[in-house]
Amino acid sequence: MSVVWYECKVKYRKTDETGGQKVLTEPYLVDALSYTEAEKRINEEMAAYISEEFKITAIKVANYAEIHPFENADRWFKSKITLIAYDEESGKERKTSMYMLVQANDVREAYDNTIHIMKNTMGEYSIPAITETPIMDVFPYFSGEEGETEMLERFNTLKASKPEKVEEVIDHMEFETALEE
């Protein structure tokens, strides 16, 4: 099952160093199954960071194929990757673009991190664009500390909302298990 990232814009009042207050609207990314779950998750995540009242002003599906955090980096960059394939039937070159979110300190480091991510790619590719995003933080669903109860809750939520997807996941799991045997 592929990960769906939701960009959530959060509006809140922040006190600066001089004691003045200003209203900020900042985007964050969360991994969720639906808009409803994205709203719930961003509320939970932001409650831990913002002591005052905040408002979620927008939620939209983010167009990222992959998210790559790197240590000692504080900004997020959108890397456009163009995969190049040759169509043997027509003899033409076919290009497909995808976007990755890469953490880095500057554009050069984002480029180097993107090259590092793509180093084991068998096909030909190019990196036509890297731009800094306003994204403040990324909250993936699975942190590695998640227990079976939370995973079961998430599965049951998916089962209730999209039973056809559950069948697809189960079929895929059975196929993967058969391959392992």
63 φ, ψ (degrees, to nearest 5): -95, 60
Domain ranges of the chain: 1-62, 65-135, 150-181
57 burial class (0-12, 13-18, 19+ CB within 10 angstroms)?
A: exposed
Contact residues for 82 (Cβ-Cβ < 8 A; gap 6+)? 95, 96, 97, 125, 126, 127, 128
pLDDT digits (tens, 9 = 90+) for 31-78: 999 999 999 999 999 999 888 899 999 999 999 999 999 999 999 999
Whether this prediction's pTM lies above 0.85 is answered by no
Question: Which amino acid would we find at residue 175?
Answer: F
Q: How confident is the model at residue 175 (pLDDT cuts 50, 70, 90)?
A: very low
Predicted confidence (pLDDT) per residue in 146-174, tens digit: 444 455 555 555 555 555 555 555 544 44
- Side chain identity, residue 154: R
State which fold the 65-135 domain adopts. Ubiquitin-like (UB roll) (3.10.20)
Fold of 1-62: Ubiquitin-like (UB roll) (3.10.20)
- Is the pLDDT at 14 greater than 50? The verdict is yes
106-143 residue pLDDT tens: 999 999 999 999 999 888 999 999 999 999 999 998 64
Domains 1-62 and 65-135 share a fold: yes
